[in-house]
Structure 1
Amino acid sequence: MDWYTWQLVDSLYPTGGFAHSLGLESAVQEKIVTNSSTLRQFVVASLHQTANLLLPILYEAHANPTAANFLRLDALTHAMLTNHVAARASIAQGTAMLRVASTTAAASSVLQDIKRNKVHGHHVVVFGIMCGSLGIDALATQRLLLFFTLRDTLSAATRLNVIGPLESAKLQTQLAPLAEKILQEKKDRPVEDAYQSAPFLDLVQARHDMLYTRIFNS
């Protein structure tokens, strides 16, 4: 991987991912996730959801990194994210990534054009366009998105005291082969193949705004 790819992997890259739990905080408060076993089930379902719904969108954004394709896929993503919490988180992270990347990435001319014309700015579309513009390999780009899901969910689990940091690191190592298997099965698919595979997770995440106390934005 080149240096910019490593920068994207860095959890300190300022896109605000640390502020989102991908629905885990709601699942914890609803007693759906209570220990490492139920957390593992949640993470596995989240990985499948990411692969089934977002990888096709990411793949097409990467294949044609233009402003016109961005607008098409951004509208499609907005329609397919069926709960407002997930949509809001996606837009927040996408807008942050667009702001950072348009000032730091070599592909800034394309990103500046998108920044001027964006309607929503969903993260998966911005990320795909950016990686495609920078010449980052399509398979590596798709692997990165699954890595973000795995890393950010387990990071949230640690801060919610579901598991400790050492157990989180161990679980990430244990689930990495499964994430790679999912990637190989679901990579390089058109947007016509995108679908929601975990409606229960969608419902749980949608309840986030109803929590009496919360430390995450989503």
Structure 2
Amino acid sequence: MKFARLLHLVDSSIPTGSFAYSYGLESSITFGLIQNQFELRNYLYAYLQQVVSMEFPFMNSCFQVQEPELQEELHKIAEEYDAMMLVPVIHKASVVQGKNWLKLLELFYPEAGMQEIREWFAEQELPLHFVLVYVLCLKRVDFTLGDVQTMYLHMALRDQVSAAIRLGFIGPMEGHKLQHAFYTVFENLIESYGNMTYTQATRSAFMLDTSQVFHDDIYSKLFQN
């Protein structure tokens, strides 16, 4: 039953708003940084490396924080994460998805006290970034850190492949074949970054950051970012 719930939470139809964002893929294609499938593969690998080097350390730290140091340490983690969200459109997307995710989990698990997370962030005047509330919510309903990490990587890869398909850069069959092939790198990525803490977080894909910044310069956009 728990596995079925996990499948539901990673379903692309879950309305967190991730479908509205390409996280730099659209601008990378528009400005010629990605021109063929080989370059798309390189982009996807760089994107996943950025995910595990930046997001995973914060996810790990959020998951491991225990009482009684919970509130003080979590405040440090949340402040540091917000400071490292350097691209305005990505910062905005993170908060929008964080609010949507928390709203959904409050609906799915009314007995888990998810509203306490919302209240704490409001009291501390901290933004509800998706990565942070994603981990805190799933920890409350007893998913393991391994579940949380794998689920996040799956969603990150799925959304990028879906964006490439909707942009018309690759076809649906090609896209899903590519997604299937990339699952082989998950284990190595998790092994490399699965135990790091937020003080070790790094942004490793500078061209990706650049393409995200220039998204606003696209004349006609399919995605918000």
Within-5 A mapping of 1:31-180:
31-64=32-65, 68=71, 70-105=74-109, 108-109=112-113, 111-118=114-121, 119-180=126-187
> Percent identity among equivalent residues?
29
TM normalised by structure 2 equals 0.90
The one-letter amino acid paired with 1:81 is: M
Runs of 4+ in 1 over 4 A off after TM superposition: none
Structure 1 unmatched ranges of 5 or more: none
Alpha carbons of structure 1 residues 167 and 142: separation in structure 2 relative to 1, 3 Å: same
Deviation at 1:2, TM superposition (A): 2.8
What is the distance in 1 between the residues matched to 2:5 and 2:64? 19
Deviation at 1:65, TM superposition (A): 7.4
What is the distance in 2 between the residues matched to 1:178 and 1:107? 36
The one-letter amino acid paired with 1:117 is: W
What is the distance in 2 between the residues matched to 1:195 and 1:44? 16
The one-letter amino acid paired with 2:87 is: N
What is the root-mean-square deviation in Å for CA atoms of aligned residues?
Answer: 1.7
What is the distance in 1 between the residues matched to 2:8 and 2:111? 15
Alpha carbons of structure 1 residues 95 and 65: separation in structure 2 relative to 1, 3 Å: farther
Alpha carbons of structure 1 residues 184 and 173: separation in structure 2 relative to 1, 3 Å: same
8 A Cα contact 1:65 1:129, kept in partner: no
What is the distance in 2 between the residues matched to 1:134 and 1:156? 30
What is the distance in 2 between the residues matched to 1:116 and 1:25? 35
The one-letter amino acid paired with 1:17 is: S
The one-letter amino acid paired with 1:217 is: Q
Equivalent residue, structure 1, for 2:216: 209
Equivalent residue, structure 1, for 2:189: 182
Instruction: Give the count of matched residue pairs.
Output: 217
Structure 2 unmatched ranges of 5 or more: none
8 A Cα contact 2:112 2:141, kept in partner: no
Show CA shifts across 1:134-157 (max 9, x none). 110101111111111111000000
What is the distance in 2 between the residues matched to 1:62 and 1:81? 20
Equivalent residue, structure 2, for 1:195: 202
Deviation at 1:107, TM superposition (A): 5.8
